[in-house]
Structure 1
């Protein structure tokens, strides 16, 4: 997400929307994508892909983290969507590589 933030350099909502009140400290960096959302949803995707029975609880956690970023006035809804998609893509790639490595290891034994 840090790489994408440097590319897009989207200003935070509290800087561009008149009257929007920010809650909490001033965050650094740009707005798109939401790193908090990406991290929370990466945990969710990993839990889901691993078929862990706790995935619904982790989904609630990830949604809560994401919505808190809107409430705090530090992200747009598109920033959250960007974080979700980024985390899905990263977890999908890691899962494919992991499964390939496991298959290769089993074949070499």
Structure 2
């Protein structure tokens, strides 16, 4: 089923120049947009807490992704199959999970907790990055879904940790008073 869905998404590649361009831009430059936004949030004192939240979520999600990739090595579609529409060259390293997707969704999910509007906009952009990965021939949809799942779990863990930290800080403040 994963390969069939990959074939359907990747089958659109090469049919519409504007769609190819959009998917190439999302794959090549989308992660930079997220990195720049994260940097801006960290630089702006007013939004630094959102940047820290997103940065912690990103670090945790990519750490999980790295560990999963070490345990489960999956070849990229263009390595395994001959009929892939490969729009961009890529090293034939492990495919599972998609780091582009993991990173984008980690920042987006984290910022949904900080600023709903910004988070929702970033979720749309992260989804476009995720779709672009099988479209350009680099990942199976399952790799993308795994990246989304890892990012979501990392965001939930960071949120849980923040709530626990705030609760402990409040208890320490009450005890000190």
TM-score by length of 2: 0.58
Cα distance, 1:28 vs. partner? 5.1
Report the secondary structure of 2:112's partner residue.
helix
Distance of 2:70 and 2:141 partners within structure 1: 19
Is 1:21 the counterpart of 2:21? The answer is no
Cα distance, 1:25 vs. partner? 2.7
Superposed structure 1 runs of 4+ greater than 4 Å apart: none
Which of 105, 128, 135 is the equivalent residue of 1:41?
Answer: 105
Query: How many residues were matched structurally?
Result: 109
Distance of 1:13 and 1:53 partners within structure 2: 35
- Asked if 2 retains the 8 angstrom alpha-carbon contact of 1:27 and 1:74, the reply is no
Q: Deviations over 1:36-69 (max 9, x none)?
A: 1011111111011224322221111101111111
Which structure: larger Rg? 2
- Asked if 2 retains the 8 angstrom alpha-carbon contact of 1:5 and 1:29, the reply is no
Which of 147, 152, 162 is the equivalent residue of 1:98?
Answer: 162
Is 1:84 the counterpart of 2:148? The answer is yes
TM-score by length of 1: 0.92
Unaligned runs of 5+ in 1: none
- Asked if 1 retains the 8 angstrom alpha-carbon contact of 2:75 and 2:92, the reply is no
- Greater helix share, structure number: 2
Partner of 2:22: none
Partner of 1:69: 133
- Asked if 2 retains the 8 angstrom alpha-carbon contact of 1:41 and 1:59, the reply is yes
Unaligned runs of 5+ in 2: 1-64
